[in-house]
Chains A and B, each alone.
Chain A
Amino acid sequence: MPRKRRELYNKEICACSIFGAMNKDGERFNAAGVMRAIANMHVRGNGLGGGFAAYGIYPQYRDYYAFHLMFNGKTLQSQISAKAEFEQYLNQRFDVVHDEEIPHRPQTQLRDPPLIWRYFASPKKMGEDASLSDDEYVVRTVMQTNSRAEDAYIFSSGMNMGCFKGVGYPEEIGEYFMLDQLYSAYAWTAHGRFPTNTQAWWGGAHPFSLLDTSVVHNGEISSYGTNRWYLEMYGYACTLQTDTEVIAYAADLLLRRQRIPMEIVAKILAPPIWNAIDTMNEKEKKLFTTLRMVYGPLLMNGPFAIIIGQTGRLIGLTDRIRLRPITAATKGEMFYLSSEEASIRLISPELDSVWTPSGGEPVICELNSRRV
């Protein structure tokens, strides 16, 4: 019997800056302010990764899945052939109504940008797949593509939203994709990276996303091996060598597949400590004990501050002993999350309220109405 290769993987560490901004009325705005804010935290990164997630940017294709693809081959030729191979696969499974290269500045000091393309598509489920939901079908497509092909990587797969990322300071990435000119979104998240593995690659930057859930993350998940061990049983392939992906997949599993309310999901990812649980009333004690018992392997250990974006809302969360900073603020209908308050003040000098949420307590901002 052939020997099984042990599960080798390299885990990258993420020290960084994160930022999020949302307009609760659903009014859309470009990335200029967010780019200035994240640039203000320049020293928290080292130029080896930056990225943005934007919600509400494709209103004309709002009912189609927007796939953002990266073709990373070393030569243009290999990139093009990876693209051709992917398109063959995609066309079998989806009806593609429009596709194009994601527009970017022609001149840039960014190194080795891959070929980046987007496809607007709807599922073409056949045979056994007909019984799957559209979302599940798309997740499988993403997992298959990303674990199979070396040079093709789906890094955004939601509807009416998209992620933009690469190797460079976040403001450089924003400029490259012209986010301050071409797009208007009601919610933006941004991330600047300081990876400790020097061989950074475009796919390794944040945000990590699956369907419309995107995650930007500051910190290191020391429970990564355990989280991954658990998620792989549910069909999530953890191929991206970065601990942030387990947060995205855990959010997908708990929020979408199990439909658990976000407040409870926060208590799974960052549960209260036993000393606190033991003093709760019977009902709460039973709930929290059960959550820890069943979902223990999804506890995210280690310092983290994350911003999860989904259609219609932004969620900020830190680890249960708040080893990483996060500041929340509001001004009228605008809501902000940031690693440092100064960045918020830069784009909104006056604020109605500013606070630092407690460890393990989620800060959730939702659109006033669900229609955007």
Chain B
Amino acid sequence: MGAVEINADGLQTRDLNDRLRDLMLAGKRKVIIRNVCGQRYIGTRLYSPERHRMEIDIFGTPGNDLAAFLFGHRLVVHGNAQDGVGNTMDDGEIVIEGRAGDVLGFSMRGGTIYVRDGCGYRTALHMKEYEGKKPALVIGGTAQDFLGEYMAGGTVILLDLKGQGHRANFIGSGMHGGTIYLRGSVNRSQVSEQVEISPIDEADRGILDQYVSDFIEKFPDLELIPKEVLKDDFVKLTPRSKRPYSDLYTY
């Protein structure tokens, strides 16, 4: 079945999302949106009890909160994304051929996001997992401060493919679940007290193998070979305790 095209030039957020929803309810499976410029919440209004699934290609720069509350669809952005990508995302897949902004994957609880370049502040804030639903975030570059703040579950992988080094501070502040893998290394002072830095083991290699292969598949233009990426050192960040602040209060 062919794809339906929407020209977003001059469309307000509301109108664009109206059309997307109409297309979903009409049973369309593939949509291409061109000339996107700042429209928000693309992919958010696509909940249906019948669980329709769409594949949406976005050309241009989508606005804030792309795929917020996403209900299992697949979005590909051919360009950069802004803040709030995958906000409280429930399930689905997002591929960004460029960079993402701040609060990427905030409160994400399922699905996967692949970002080719880097991202901004407060990535994976309060990401969570529950009963078999385990979200993942794979980033080809690096992140800025407050990565994994309050993280409660899920997997975050930063590949730093350009070898710029991880310069984020306050990593894992308040982390009490989940795992962050960093290709390369990070200083103890960049990471919160509550987080354990450890080398990876066999089980971790298996996980990384899986996600790196998927990542490479999503971005064929990078011409990467999984073995090349995986041969370097990775570190694993995990929380020391599920109750990091139990000593703080007096009753």
Contacts and interface: CB of A to CB of B under 8 A. Distances in A.
Chain A directly contacts chain B within the complex, with at least one CB pair under 8 Å: yes
Interface of A: 40-41, 43, 276, 279, 321-322, 325, 327, 340-343, 345-346, 354, 356, 358-359
A359 B167 CA distance: 13
B61 A341 contact: yes
A330 to B, nearest CB: 14
A322 B99 contact: no
Contact of B101 (A40, A341, A343, A346): A341
30 contacts: A40-B37, A41-B38, A276-B169, A322-B121, A322-B144, A322-B145, A325-B82, A325-B83, A325-B101, A327-B101, A340-B63, A340-B83, A341-B61, A341-B80, A342-B36, A342-B38, A342-B60, A342-B62, A342-B82, A343-B38, A345-B60, A346-B37, A346-B38, A354-B99, A356-B101, A356-B102, A356-B120, A356-B144, A359-B121, A359-B145
A340 B66 CA distance: 13
Nearest to A44: B64
A340 B82 contact: yes
A325 B122 CA distance: 12
A322 B38 contact: no
B213 interface: no
Contacts of A358: 144-145
A6 B124 CA distance: 46
Interface of B: 13, 36-38, 40, 60-64, 79-80, 82-83, 99, 101-102, 120-121, 144-146, 169, 189
Contacts of B37: 40, 342-343, 345-346
A359 B38 CA distance: 23
A40 B12 CA distance: 9
Contacts of B144: 322, 356, 358
A290 to B, nearest CB: 23
A195 B187 CA distance: 42
B188 to A, nearest CB: 12
B166 to A, nearest CB: 13
Q: Which among A276, A325, A343, A346 has the highest number of chain B CB atoms within 10 Å? A: A325
Nearest to B79: A345
Contact of A345 (B61, B101, B120): B61
Given A341-B82, A354-B80, A43 B40 contact: yes
A162 B60 CA distance: 34
Nearest to A358: B144
> Would you list the 5 A-B pairs with minimal beta carbon distance, nearest first?
A342-B38, A342-B61, A345-B61, A342-B37, A356-B120
Contacts of B83: 325, 340
